[in-house]
Structure 1
Amino acid sequence: MTIQEIEHQFLNISLADRAAIVQRLTKTLSKSGKGITKTAGVCGGEACIAGTRIAVWLLVEAQQLGITEAQLLQDYPHITAADLVNAWTYAEAYPEEIAAVILANNEAA
């Protein structure tokens, strides 16, 4: 099936069905990242991008220092923009946790 055929079919269904499809696609796209995990023995059990040793707090601190998302993606080519969205979402949900880890790492340095 071509994109044009899909588009034609999409435009010929009800508005409610179109909205449902867009909602499903949005969920699928947002899940394309690896997610965030905490694993004992990996990065001190801190929240990381799943399957990596890239800690959420490290990305947040880099952003606070003015490093752009484009630069982060260049510096960490094995992560995606969706992974950064997951990291920012996690950081927004747990700001005290992220702030405490950043502070602890700065004090240890």
Structure 2
Amino acid sequence: MSVVIRISAAAFFLIFLIYVLGLVSKGKLQLKYSLLWMVLCIAILICDAFPVIPFWFSRTLGFITPSNFILIVAIAVLFAICLSLSIAVSRLVAAVKNLAQRVALLEKELKDAEKTD
């Protein structure tokens, strides 16, 4: 990989890491959801600084070219991100459902209390 591409990639992921940290500090992104993004950026920056690491892993795992290894790892990371976000959304849907049911019960109790007065 050329030096220009490596420097460009490092700059992009460093800016992205700073952006994620900024979102966390402003309270727009919770820390538990940002950790995956931060770990991903740091791993990419390490692999960019030491390109021998992905080459070694790809050879060790039997991949013919390192680009195939990187593609498989990228797909696995995207699946992990999608799974973690799906879990978070499922929890939120359940919480909203419970809150809606509680509000409905409280409204019913309020109407019943108004009828008896």
TM-score bracket for the superposition, by shorter chain length: under 0.3
Q: Which has the higher contact order (CA 8 A, sep 6+)?
A: 1
Structure richer in helix, relative to its length: 2
What TM-score, normalized to structure 1?
A: 0.26
Structure richer in strand, relative to its length: 1
What TM-score, normalized to structure 2?
A: 0.24
